[in-house]
Amino acid sequence: MEDKLTIFYNKRNGRIKELCGGEQDMDWFGDEAQDYELIFDYIVVDYDAYIIENYMNMKVVENKVKIIQGDVPEKYV
């Protein structure tokens, strides 16, 4: 099992777009890496199953993964 998680996110709004195990960089996107660099950035964090299961309700703010309060159903807040 991986001990790190790479999170690719939209630079403008922080929304997480893709996840992958281990430590990666923009080369993850192969020959399209240069294109993706215009819109996305990435961070590497400790592996966290909660992030993987809930990434659509999270974003990256100041290089930290944060829950988006408005996207979490009220019964879970």
Burial class (CB in 10 A: 0-12, 13-18, 19+), 32: exposed
Q: Running along the chain, 77 residues long, what does each successive block of 10 average in pLDDT?
A: 91 96 94 96 96 94 89 61
Say how many Å lie between the first and final Cα of the chain, rounded.
30
pTM reported for the whole predicted model:
0.85
